[in-house]
Amino acid sequence: DFLDMLRYAFLSAYPERFTCMVRTLHLARRYGMQVLDVVDDAVLAFRHCYRAAANEAHRFTGLTRFSELPDGLLVAVIAPKNNVLAPVLAHFVQRYPGQRLAIYDEGRRLLGCYQQGRVLVQEVDIPPPQATPDEQQYRTLWRTFFAAVTIEERLNPSLQRQHMPLYTWRNLTEM
pLDDT at 128: 76
pLDDT at 141: 94
Nearest to 170 by CA among 134, 125, 132, 128: 128
What tens digit of pLDDT does each residue of 54-103 get?
999 999 999 999 998 888 899 999 999 999 999 999 999 999 999 999 99
pLDDT at 56: 97
Q: Poorest-confidence range of 2-11, 57-66, 152-161?
A: 152-161
Please state the pTM of the whole predicted model.
0.88
pLDDT at 140: 93
Mean of per-residue pLDDT scores for the chain: 92
Residue 173 has pLDDT above 90, yes or no: no
Which of the two residues, 163 and 61, has the higher pLDDT score? 61
Domain ranges in the chain are: 2-55, 64-171
Q: State percent of the chain over pLDDT 70.
A: 100
Residue 129 has pLDDT above 80, yes or no: no
